[in-house]
Amino acid sequence: MPRIRPKKVTIFLEDKILAGVIMVQGTASNVGKSLFAAALCRLFARAGRTVAPFKSQNMALNSFVTRESLEIGRAQAYQALAAGIEPTVDMNPILIKPHSDTGAQIVVMGKPVANMQVGEYHDYQTEGMKIALASLARLRDKYEIVVIEGAGSPAEVNLRDHDIVNMSIALAADAPVALVADIDRGGVFASIVGTMELLEPSERDLVIGYVVNKFRGDPALLGSGLDFLRERTGKPVLGVLPFLHNLRIEEEDTLGLEDRAGGVDGDVRISVVKLPHLSNYTDFLPIETESGVALRYIERADDLADAHVVIVPGSKSVLADLAWMEAQGITNAIRAARDRGAWVIGICGGYQMLGDRILDPEHIESPRESAPGLGLLPVETRFGGDKVLTRNRATCLLPWATGLAADGYEIHHGRTVRTQAAFQAAFTAGSAEDGASSSDGRVFGTYLHGIFDSDPLRDAFLAAVRRDIGIDNKPTAPFDPLRDLDRLADSVSAHVDMKEIWKAVGYDFG
């Protein structure tokens, strides 16, 4: 590979050379922006550059806790992993966590500041833009390259006056923009041309070209279409990325579950309830990748009939999601699954739902003040007080994995207490106990996200389930979050004009 050297032309602020930047925007949500940005972080880091991700405003229920006990979007934490650095709050200064169609919790610099309706948040965005640009400036002062990610589409004309995440950031940072489009969903040429037509001239000038994502078939068939895009818009296609089958890497939000909803063939059938406000479904990615495991995201009670394991995941709106499960008949189906011997697991909000009762007298998450839970664990949860944000190294107390360690993190408002003192906890973290468990360990709840990342604990869990259903155990594959990320990065390197990407961030091949 030719030597890469920095250009002499740089941008200065307070007499400091700032990092080169490139921005990844998309023609729509879930076209591959987050993954393409992660791949660029990985490629820049593998080439020996210091690189950091940045997204000024992230709307997602998948979140992560930094070492400083601050909350950011999980996508930026994953991109930081790709870059080989520790996630920080500057990488995602504003996180929006929807709890209804029009309302959300607003997390600023890692801490929740308020629950806001859409209009209230629009009024806040002037201040939000200042916060975002300050975070970006700090990253550009510290690293050699910053990969900026946009959100949704930059062509949402109704949101232009309130934009603090797409072209407003690109213009403020003078950032070249790579526009990603998903050909697998159809209409890729119209989406690219339409997006460009709706941009202002100064915004179009920042676009350096297009990345066509998830292509299946013979690339030669695309030739006339790629020529059309150049002729129509004056911009080149930087690359065509093939559809990568069985790619198991973290998506930004639950839109990414559409490709996973059917599960895969396997002897162990695990059903995760796809709650309307499901959060941190990345908890289950290590299980998805296991041979012989069929993990499905379900929305109907009938889909639990043959499950060996039922998991109720995290939720941003616990009482609302509990009411939804009751209306769908899923709560009764979970109880029936337990009665026939299935395992039942609750994580974070799911743990709260497995208990006897949930109280929200201050309306932290819901207009409802209380609701009965599923009654599978003798615990009661009350919402109130400061949000718990912490990372823990925990020790498992469950009988099938006693003494095994797992690294996890907590993100929750509720405080849960066991109503039967003799009932055992599921984990300990330092001197504190976490969660609750049945005596056989086949029904348990925990606040710890990420426990299945632990290879020994995941191995013990699957071995115990297989013993229950009378099949031979299979060794688990070590969970390596970089394995498929490197596979994605290699694909980007092979199919995208990386010389143009390096040129965009201020480097030449010489």
Positions marked active-site: 348, 449
Order of strands across the sheet that contains 237-242: 51-54, 145-149, 20-26, 177-182, 207-215, 237-242
H-run or E-run covering 203: helix 201-206
Indicate the DSSP class of residue 311: E
Residue type, 260: R
Torsion-angle region of 375 (φ positive above 0: left; ψ -120 to 50: alpha; else: beta): left
Q: Which of 363, 503, 346 has its CA nearest to residue 437?
A: 346
Per-residue HEC secondary structure of 476-503 comes to CCCCCHHHHHHHHHHHHHHHECHHHHHH
CA end-to-end span of the chain: 10
Q: Please tell me the distance from the alpha carbon of residue 335 to that of residue 339, in angstroms, as a whole number.
A: 6
Q: Please tell me the distance from the alpha carbon of residue 153 to that of residue 94, in angstroms, as a whole number.
A: 18
- CB 486 within 8 Å of CB 500: no
Cα dist from 43 to 26, 245, 372, 376, whole Å: 20, 21, 50, 47
Give the CA count within 13 Å in the CB-facing half-sphere of 380.
10
Q: Tokens for 198?
A: 């709706």
Query: How buried is residue 475: exposed, middle or buried, by Cβ count under 10 Å (0-12/13-18/19+)?
Result: exposed
186-189-190 Cα angle (round to 5): 85
Q: Which of 402, 486, 487, 466 has its CA nearest to residue 440?
A: 402
